[in-house]
């Protein structure tokens, strides 16, 4: 097959707007981020007191970084290091990432050809010798902790020169080939366009721009803004302050007094609803999926745990008290939680000995298996096309198939 000429590199960023969107995976609604931020950030508090003497804190708290938390919250810091949240966004220079790709090749068959990878001190590069000659294409960032998808930020050569807005000038190319944890080898990135590549760009992957591109980075980092082809102010991964808000003020107070004022989750306005908004901002809320999906609830939605949980009777009938952290320590990876520990969470409610209180009446007990095996029958891990079988359906229910 004929080579796509080097000159076609000028067209490298013309690609079809297909991919994850078709699967509805990135069908994003409006995030309720500002609302949530107001709840966790102490900033609003200082704004409220602005009629009193202005202070140097008027600019609001700033990020201090997770190393600072180690000083006083050693255990949470240790746990978080092993959580998937600590490795959601890495440079391809990271040895863990490089190791997955270096020296490997992936035969995507016609019409895409064979991808070969090499690493040097500049990072990770891919070549497609039979289609793109010897030209190396640089892959910059790896998203994901088990499975890894590579992205690069590139100038958008198609942009309209009259409106040089930075986000118009940049596109993120999501690479065609990923490290697939469930297969333990390189494989095709879910949601990539399969038709014959019309441009050189489609050989390497598909392009994201505008809001989708920004959100892709937003959900995988603590701070950072795409400006041109750089990420300015990048703090990679989902760290402490992504969830708790900027902590400089908390740290300052904690250093000057034994009992610092309530911060973030310790504040009175922090409730179950705030927490669902927090986790759902990234793990997806019902607002992030289409109405059709919401009605039909295809298996694919197992990937979006808050969507399932919100329709569970466990949530609906427990006065909104059931939240993510009822079953997950937000700092501890699920890999470190045993099946038995998970069952204890269920039994904490579904047990005859659970006392009734004003808000929670006595709950039903399983007539089939009252003490064990709850997860496999009521919230099993489902096999999702191209995404492995690692997603537990958080719509907890009596299933026809069990």
Between residue 82 and residue 111, which ones bind ligand HEC under the rule CB under 6 A? 83-85, 87-88
List the interface residues with ligand HEC, window 381-400 (CB under 6 A).
381, 390-392, 394, 396-398
Q: Which is nearer to ligand HEC, 4 or 154 (CB)?
A: 154
List the strands of the sheet with 123-127, edge to edge.
Answer: 105-107, 114-120, 123-127, 137-139
List the interface residues with ligand HEC, window 285-344 (CB under 6 A).
303, 305-306, 309, 313-314, 317-318, 321-322, 324-328, 330-331, 333-335, 337, 342-343
Contact by Cβ (8 Å): 217, 226: yes
User: Got the DSSP string for 62-107?
Assistant: ----HHHHHTT-HHHHHHHHTSGGGGSEEETTSHHHHHHHTT-EEE
Tell me the window of 66-74, 96-104, 121-129, 223-231 that interacts with ligand HEC (CB under 6 A): 66-74
Contact by Cβ (8 Å): 382, 389: yes
Q: Which is nearer to ligand HEC, 170 or 318 (CB)?
A: 318
Exactly one of 106, 115, 117, 263 binds ligand HEC (CB under 6 A); that residue is 263
- Residue 204 CA to residue 292 CA, distance in Å, equals 32
Chain residue at closest Cβ approach to ligand HEC: 266
Tell me the window of 94-102, 124-132, 194-202, 264-272 that interacts with ligand HEC (CB under 6 A): 264-272
Q: Which is nearer to ligand HEC, 154 or 278 (CB)?
A: 278
Any contact of residue 180 with ligand HEC (CB under 6 A)?
no
Minimum CB separation of residue 134 from ligand HEC in Å reads: 27
Exactly one of 149, 192, 199, 277 binds ligand HEC (CB under 6 A); that residue is 149
Exactly one of 39, 98, 124, 219 binds ligand HEC (CB under 6 A); that residue is 219
Any contact of residue 371 with ligand HEC (CB under 6 A)?
yes
Q: Which residues contact 247 (CB under 8 A, 6 or more apart)?
A: 61, 63, 64, 68, 69, 240, 241, 263
Any contact of residue 69 with ligand HEC (CB under 6 A)?
yes
Q: How many Cα neighbours within 13 Å face the side chain of 335?
A: 10
Minimum CB separation of residue 315 from ligand HEC in Å reads: 8
Q: Which is nearer to ligand HEC, 107 or 341 (CB)?
A: 341
DSSP, res 7:
G
Q: Which is nearer to ligand HEC, 128 or 278 (CB)?
A: 278
User: Got the DSSP string for 109-177?
Assistant: -TTT-EEEEEEETTEEEEE-HHHHTT--EEE-EEE-SSSBEEEEEEE-TTS-TT---HHHHEEEEEESE
Q: Which residues contact 99 (CB under 8 A, 6 or more apart)?
A: none
In this structure, the strands spanning 221-227 and 230-236 are antiparallel
Exactly one of 174, 202, 209, 249 binds ligand HEC (CB under 6 A); that residue is 174
Any contact of residue 131 with ligand HEC (CB under 6 A)?
no
- Residue 322 CA to residue 219 CA, distance in Å, equals 24
């Amino acid at each position: 097959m004929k080579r796509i000429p080097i000159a076609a590199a000028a067209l490298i960023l013309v690609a079809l707007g297909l991919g994850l969107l078709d699967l509805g995976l990135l069908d994003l609604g409006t995030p309720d981020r500002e609302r949530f931020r107001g709840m966790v950030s102490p900033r609003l508090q200082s704004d409220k007191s602005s009629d009193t003497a202005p202070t140097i804190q008027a600019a609001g708290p700033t990020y201090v970084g997770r190393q600072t938390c180690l000083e006083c919250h050693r255990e949470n810091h240790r746990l978080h290091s092993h959580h998937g949240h600590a490795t959601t966004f890495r440079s391809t220079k990271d040895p863990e990432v490089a190791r997955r790709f270096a020296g490997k090749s992936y035969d995507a068959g016609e019409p895409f050809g064979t991808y070969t990878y090499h690493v040097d001190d500049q990072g990770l590069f891919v070549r497609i010798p039979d289609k793109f000659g010897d030209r190396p294409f640089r892959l910059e960032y790896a998203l994901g902790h088990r499975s890894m998808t590579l992205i690069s930020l590139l100038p958008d050569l198609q942009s309209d020169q009259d409106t040089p807005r930075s986000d118009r000038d940049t596109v993120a190319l999501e690479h065609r080939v990923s490290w697939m944890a469930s297969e333990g080898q390189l494989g095709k990135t879910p949601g990539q366009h399969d038709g014959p590549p019309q441009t050189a760009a489609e050989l390497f992957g598909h392009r994201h721009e505008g809001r989708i591109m920004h959100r892709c980075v937003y959900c995988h980092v603590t701070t950072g803004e795409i400006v041109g082809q750089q990420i300015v102010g990048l703090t990679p991964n989902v760290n402490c302050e992504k969830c708790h808000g900027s902590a400089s003020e908390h740290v300052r107070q904690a250093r000057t007094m034994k009992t610092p004022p309530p911060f973030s989750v310790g504040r009175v306005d922090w409730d179950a609803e705030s927490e669902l908004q927090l986790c759902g901002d990234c793990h997806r809320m019902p607002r992030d999926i289409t109405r059709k999906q919401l009605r039909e609830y295809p298996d694919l939605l197992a990937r979006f745990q808050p969507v399932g949980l919100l329709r569970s009777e466990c949530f609906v009938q427990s006065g909104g008290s059931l939240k993510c952290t009822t079953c997950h320590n937000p700092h501890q990876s699920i890999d470190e939680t045993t099946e038995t520990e998970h069952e204890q969470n269920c039994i904490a409610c579904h047990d005859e000995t659970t006392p009734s209180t004003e808000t929670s009446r006595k709950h039903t007990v399983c007539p089939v298996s009252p003490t064990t095996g709850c997860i496999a029958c009521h919230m099993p891990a489902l096999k999702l096309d191209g995404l492995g079988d690692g997603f537990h359906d958080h719509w907890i229910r009596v299933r026809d198939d069990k």
